Structure 1
């Protein structure tokens, strides 16, 4: 593993550690009369803070900061023996099969006491964590017989002292490290501010004090040392937020110190399956808080859900999907639902669909056969999807299965489904930035289901009505948990048709062949709808434009793609070249040949590329009308 350093001219200043004096640095030029420079020459001890850009492919090898105490121990030989044993114990702990990527060692009774702590970012693999430790170990040995030292990499943190420091956070020592490239998108700064504020609020409440999240093209992580208190973590991250925001509008920024670490970027630097749903850890205080502290999957009583939805009244109904109706909770009195959940806390409603803490939930009644097998499959899938947490997937909160009806309880999306905003009564509300965010978010959610969750899940029914929008108009894919699962050892399977006319890939509609590329096809159709403001099939239009995919291909062949753009969008609000690029990606997703379509993870990469990628598009062999699935026979 290569350790990367970026050399800079730095000036030095003293940082007061609780136990020791450290020398740190900034990127300003030193003055000739700087007393610290004089002290440095007198002591003959140089300590550097080294900043560097990310090493692509080796994030754990990117050295961010190092420092050594200004004072040496008295008994250097005794210290060396104890220090060697301490590092060996740390390595042993990190190398263990059950390692949590965190370890502490303390030897208070040795001839020279040593306390040491090592922590990896939780998104690293065990092998990468061990490699990062090796780099940190080699580097910190340069401190020689110093009373203490610390090394911070992008991937890990190593510190030792002669006195106990495990519970210290020293927020005053927190510093930032900013990238040299500015973000390309205009809304990036606002997205960073929102996301890092949420991370700062949520991380102290998350086990092991680590969270990774992505939102609107921003990826970010926050982490505190596991041995600090929740209050200490809050204090450290509060300082980190202030420092990391000073990096804006840089596309990459970090805040680092002895107690915590925070980073944001417009490029991926952690696996997508390590993201955390922050909403359960956010309270209702503060601008960034929108979630509720739900703790695990909840088992609802059927009679309470029935009462809360007014016996599944049509007045409470907010949608109808392929598996059943969706209802918003209603309660005329708090007493009706005071004990709605069989759980260790009480949930009460203030009014129609609103919990006392401001949360609204949606109840989905499923139209599934009432058999013991169906019940077992239902409970099995509920347990599975309860572990699915992604920013772009609707979250399951609870269920009920002890009655003739199977019920699922989801987080409620106040903005309802995407179709209302594309070709419904709210058409024209979404600008291009919001539409593009929805296009990217959908792709990320599906990519997670296909390749990043531990069991591959195929949705099979991607359409605008199955894409919900949260308060920030970020997309949440719904109904994914009711799809069949694709075994890891198979590339495709055949099953009963369960799609919607117009969105369904031809190989699935005709032959019943199911793969994740079926979702890619449906996704491409939805993208065309988002851009055009039209439904995939609309017989009220003139024949040349009735079928959205056919129309898009004709415009593509004639180099007239911009004629497809929704006329309700402000032409000054979008880049024509960007819109054409996204339409081409949608056409690639709807290729007739399965192998020609990209995976959803490949689609995400295409969407986020800033240049017009040369796409190999082949005009589809359109299905003959006599072979089409009749619209009335398609499962809605």
Structure 2
């Protein structure tokens, strides 16, 4: 997502500092504990971390400290920025209980009480020279708005981006970052305040500006301060309602089963009652006729939602709806249409991909990347994927009934025993159909190829 590499070999140590007005009682002990926490922070940064906390909380003069570097700095520049900040922060009187130094490249803060979950404090906007055009201002607002929305959704709460100014040969660069110990909601709140601070810079048409806040950092400039290959792809985090809709759909799998199935049931019944058999050449078996009709309906109408027994044999039952439901659940979780396939002949359709990941115990790789892993329980997600695959098993009798699906979904998170799964039937792009063959059902190889896949 973001390449962590030093673009300019610059610690970006432009000074913004402050000291607490609260005094400490035991200055020697507090100073000793402060020195220990700073050494701890430096050691963590040297191990390629970009965010670290350290504390000495057992004595009568506790110290809590935090450091954060912008992730486009190299490790060497991050450590260098910290070293400059550590030297600067010692300019605070020895008897005060806190201090903070905020640079363009890093943040360093210490206090006598824990502040790790704090997302707001004294804040203000720091603006540059008023030389920006209206087009540049518009690009700044658009860029920072995107960063404000996307950054809290990204693990690590960090994003960089740039935007070309329409009608001008110029670019605006921006970064948004929150401290990693606050919540997503805390990050959103902090960046909202920071965006408000920068309104001052917008109104004065400044070419660069930054919001100073201990919980987050927001900056823009017409001068690049990170490399082009260090920008974050914001698009997955800006899709209108993608995450909230997925959360609602996943959370409503139990209560919304009837609604999800209604359209599928109506379509199946309509085609069953109104689709007339097509004329076929003499000598072609009835089974082949059913296969050809099924293939056409599946490919043109249902795009992968149709159960294989209906496609191949024309058999319609409630288990056909169960199959369709399982496919819909996999679509919701993955953000991928069941009929999507790339031009790569080796690529897999959704159902086949889901089964392969299940066999490798890599369920979570199926989950849409725009969903924040902090916002769902991984074991619950894995069980929902398994229930969806249970609905798509090639052996029709092994698929659960809808009442069983409801029970299984309501039991997610419990210690209920897992059912062994049989592989789904895969309907592939080259129209090779793979499913279990019902006993006594003739199949013509002229239309399809059928084989039983082994399950794990």
**TM-score band w.r.t. shorter chain:** 0.5 to 0.7
SS of alignment partner, residue 132 of structure 1: helix
Shift of 1:140: 0.4
Give the Cα–Cα distance (whole angstroms) in 1 for the partners of residues 231 and 322 of structure 2.
Answer: 38
1:257 paired with 2:213, answer: yes
Alignment of 1:104-143 (within 5 A): 104-143=53-92
Contact 1:220 1:265 in 2 (8 A): yes
Question: Which one of 18, 22, 25 corresponds to residue 74 of structure 1?
Answer: 25
- Structure 1 residue 89 corresponds to structure 2 residue 40: yes
- Which residue, 176, 199, 206 being the options, matches 2:154? 206
Paired position in structure 2 for 1:154 = 104
The structure in which a higher percent of residues are helix is 2
Contact kept? 1:338, 1:346, Cα under 8 Å: no
TM-superposed deviation, 1:182: 2.0
1:277 is displaced (CA, Å) by 2.1
Q: How far apart are residue 176 of structure 1 and its match?
A: 1.1
- Which one has more relative contact order, counting CA pairs under 8 Å at least 6 apart? 2
Partner of 1:174: 123
The question of whether the paired residues in 2 share the 8 Å contact of 1:284 and 1:292 is answered with no
1:245 has 2:196 as partner = no
In structure 2, what is the equivalent of residue 224 of structure 1?
178
SS at match of 1:115: strand
Q: Tell me by how many angstroms 1:206 deviates.
A: 1.1
The structure in which a higher percent of residues are strand is 1
Give the whole-Å Cα distance in 1 for the aligned partners of 2:149 and 2:218: 13
Could you state the TM-score of these two structures normalised by the residue count of structure 2?
Answer: 0.53
8 Å CA contact 1:222, 1:261 repeated in 2: yes
CA distance in 2, matches of 1:210, 1:309: 48
Q: Which residue of 2 aligns with 1:554?
A: none
- Residue in 1 aligned with 2:408? none
Aligned mates of 2:17, 2:23 — CA distance in 1: 17
1:112 Cα offset (Å)? 1.4
Deviation at 1:257, TM superposition (A): 0.8
Q: Judging changes above 3 Å, is the alpha-carbon distance between structure 1 residues 141 and 192 closer, same or farther for their aligned structure 2 residues?
A: same
Is the contact between residue 280 and residue 291 of structure 1 (CA under 8 Å) also seen in structure 2? no
Instruction: Let me know the Cα RMSD of the aligned residues.
Output: 4.2
Q: 1:170, 1:258 within 8 Å by CA — same for their partners in 2?
A: yes
Residue pair 2:45, 2:79 contacting (<8 A) in 1 also: yes
1:223 to 1:404, Cα distance in 2 relative to 1, 3 A? same
Counterpart CA distance in 2 for 1:213 and 1:149 is 31
Of the candidates 356, 363, 366, which is equivalent to residue 343 of structure 2?
366
Deviation at 1:226, TM superposition (A): 0.5
1:194 to partner: Cα distance: 1.8
Specify the alignment match of 2:137 in structure 1. 189
Question: How far does residue 111 in structure 1 lie from its aligned partner after superposition?
Answer: 3.4
**2-structure distance, mates of 1:153, 1:309:** 63
> Where does the alignment leave 5 or more consecutive residues of structure 1 unmatched?
1-55, 295-306, 317-333, 348-354, 371-378, 380-385, 390-401, 408-636
Contact 1:183/1:266, CA 8 A, preserved across alignment = no
CA 1:341–1:181: 2 relative to 1, 3 Å: farther
**1:104/1:343 Cα in 2 relative to 1: closer, same or farther (>3 Å)?**
farther
Question: 1: distance between equivalents of 2:324 and 2:27?
Answer: 68
Q: Which residue matches 2:231?
A: 275
Structure 2 CA distance for aligned equivalents of residues 240 and 207 of structure 1 = 20
Shift of 1:75: 1.7
Give the equivalent residue in structure 2 for 1:61.
12
1:418-477 Cα offsets, whole Å, 9 max, x none, are xxxxxxxxxxxxxxxxxxxxxxxxxxxxxxxxxxxxxxxxxxxxxxxxxxxxxxxxxxxx
1:362 offset after TM fit, Å?
Answer: 9.6
Partner of 1:470: none
